[in-house]
Amino acid sequence: FFVGIVVNGLVNISISTIEKRYELNSSLTGLISASYDIAFCVLSLFVSYLGERGHKPRWLAFSAFMLGLGSLVFSLPHFGSGKYQYGGSKLEDTCQAAETTFANATCSASTNSSLHKYLYVFILGQLLLGVGGTPLYTLGTAFIDDSVPKHMSSLYIGIGYAMSLLGPAIGYVLGGQLLNIYIDIQMPKRQDTTYTEVDQDDPRWLGAWWIGFLACFFAIWLLIIPFSCFPKHLPGTAKIQAEKVSETHDDGSQVLVQANNIGQSFKDFPMALMILLRNPVLMSLIIASSSEALVATGFATFLPKFIENQFGKTSSFSATLGGLVLIPGAALGQIISGVLVSKCKMSCKGIIKFMISTYSVALILNTVFLFAKCGNEPFAGVSETYNGTGTLYNLTAPCNANCKCLRSMYYPVCGSDEVQYFSPCFAGCASYIVNNMKKTYHNCSCIGKAKRGRGSEDFLSEAVPGKCPTQCNFLPLFLTFFFFAVVFTFMATTPTTVAILRCVPDKQRSFALGVQLVFLRLLGTIPGPILFGVAIDKSCTLWDINECEIKGACWVYDNERMAFMLMSISAACKIITIIFVVMAVYFYKPPPLTKALSRKTSEQISAI
């Protein structure tokens, strides 16, 4: 539950804010997100192999300690980076005033580059979280499977995974509310009376992303003592194990005999690993789940950012919407599949066939990106010219050439012509009035004729702070289709775990999960956020460039290009997933019932 809150909730919801605060692009924040999986990948094999015969609850106590420490470290950049400075009054200066302040805008390379160093602190925090998460998802899952009857295993594992998805739901909602609080809790006091404070609609607004990590640090450490008190085996485990019948993939070789005689020492590690890597059913399921994990992790990281830019919503509202779609959909899919597999008492082969149907439906629903996307609102100098003057991708035009505006000061305004401008200066605004603590700019030379009559010629060239409201109404349609795509995608998660546990020898179940999670990280969750981040960066049309001409975060994206690239990645991965699940059905050969029973009897005798 708490891993879900921190890793898949608070981290993902804070990505957009961290980008702006620490001047990072999406590729670097994708690396931050992937660092959790890098640590997981490095340690998974060793932890799952060594912990198979160890005291698993104590491993989980160690897990809680490292998760709490990682949460604490992840919040430290806020306390080391000082107060957030979002600029002075010159950010909102009009055209005439810009001439006098232009000379004051000097390059301070040391100041600009210092924030980038906190990238390594974020990565360290995620690495510690990965160390803590490794025993939980390998030994913890195997511990559940050991302690319950076989036909109930999918239900219990489904409930466990659902709890790990309920955590992100809380993380998204909690994080979304925390983003409504100013990052330093209190707004800075300004002596300049012409200065207007930023609000949540201002692109410079940053929320208090760090509070949730501190709260989880204290909460997770409270679990260390309870975990330490559990016994090595729960009461009744021996009886449950004696009643189970093996469904291990049997190709007629002596691999199963070898698997039952290894694992007593670390010298058996290479042989145990080779037995699993030579299991075609296991490897097909692993590659399929890795391909799906790439898409799931990418969307978990960047769905709030996609909604924010595609549909013109605030970062906090986008994060809340993303959580309301991703988390309930994923949890619902896990529970439904767990109940179906348990109630129908599906065999291993039946479970794999069930996975094919769920992935196929998810692929069809993925086409929502084709028809529920939004075009960009008009942006002078980016998506259109200044009333026919100037050129595209050039913010300077004849109407503002004499203003000497600063490209590093992004303060968007929406003109009465329903076109967005980079700042009041680039809109050529010469004056403003303040009414009820809100500014309205007037005499803007770059703003064309108003699209809606205002009743007075004086207001035909006015602008108000903030982005222009979007005219796109596809958000409800997109969220509906994407919700069901998430449900059907995650309906295969619990069956995949159950199929992996059943197709390998009993003494290698924890190790098999460890192998799966290594490939899951290497091929899925590590490259996923990075690949999605690169794709999103490729769709950027306006970068934040400071006085030193250093490129920071992206301000404006090409919405249609972003939607097309994300859909292409998702569709390609889902097709790969379906192919390998079909291969798993083809390769699977269940052991004869008599052979399975006799093997189980001999194992019981050996145990006695």
Strands, E assignment, 368-437:
413-415, 420-421, 429-435
Closest CA to 158 of 498, 487, 488, 485: 498
Helix (H, G, I), strand (E, B) or coil at 301: helix
Query: Which H helix or E strand runs over 444?
Result: strand 438-444
> 0.85 exceeded by the pTM?
no
Q: What is the pLDDT of residue 141?
A: 80
Token couple for 463: 């602008």
Interatomic CA distance for residues 18 and 20, integer angstroms? 5
Band of pLDDT at residue 44, cut at 50, 70 and 90: confident
Q: What is the pLDDT of residue 89?
A: 43
DSSP state of 468: P
Interatomic CA distance for residues 300 and 585, integer angstroms? 29
1-83+116-185+204-244 has which CATH code? 1.20.1250.20
Q: What is the pLDDT of residue 436?
A: 74
Least confident of 35-49, 77-91, 268-282: 77-91
**Buried/exposed code over 560-597 (b: 16+ C-beta within 10 A; e: otherwise):** ebbbbbbbebbbebbebbbebbbbbeebbebbeeeebe
> In angstroms, what is the C-alpha Rg of the chain?
28
In Å, what is the CA distance from 603 to each residue of 246, 304, 500?
Answer: 11, 51, 21
Band of pLDDT at residue 461, cut at 50, 70 and 90: low
| Sheet of 438-444, strands arranged across | 420-421, 413-415, 463-465, 438-444, 429-435
Torsion (CA) 49, 55, 59, 61 in degrees, nearest 10: 170
Average pLDDT, the chain: 78
Question: pLDDT tens-digit profile of 477-517?
Answer: 888 888 998 899 888 888 888 888 888 877 777 788 888 88
Q: Looking at the predicted structure, is the pLDDT value of residue 454 above 50?
A: no
Interatomic CA distance for residues 386 and 99, integer angstroms? 21
- Residue whose entry in the numeric block shows the structure tokens 């050529």: 428
16 with 305: CB under 8 angstroms? yes
Non-local CB neighbours of 337 within 8 Å, separated by 6+ positions = 154, 158, 354, 358, 490, 491, 492, 493, 494, 495
Closest CA to 76 of 31, 26, 45, 118: 118
Least confident of 76-80, 258-262, 291-295: 258-262
Q: What is the pLDDT of residue 188?
A: 59
Mean per-residue pLDDT, 576-586: 91
Fold: same for 1-83+116-185+204-244 and 250-371+473-540+556-607: yes
Q: What is the pLDDT of residue 83?
A: 80
> Does CATH number 1.10.10.10 belong to domain 250-371+473-540+556-607?
no
Question: pLDDT tens-digit profile of 322-354?
Answer: 878 887 888 888 888 888 887 887 888 888 889
Q: Looking at the predicted structure, is the pLDDT value of residue 103 above 50?
A: no
Mean per-residue pLDDT, 425-433: 85
Helix (H, G, I), strand (E, B) or coil at 436: coil
Closest CA to 525 of 347, 300, 361, 316: 300
Mean per-residue pLDDT, 429-442: 81
- Which residues are bridge partners to 551 per DSSP? 545
Closest CA to 300 of 577, 517, 33: 33
Parallel/antiparallel/unpaired status of strands 540-545 and 551-557? antiparallel
- Which residues are bridge partners to 540 per DSSP? 557
The residues spanned by each domain of the chain are 1-83+116-185+204-244, 250-371+473-540+556-607, 378-451+459-469
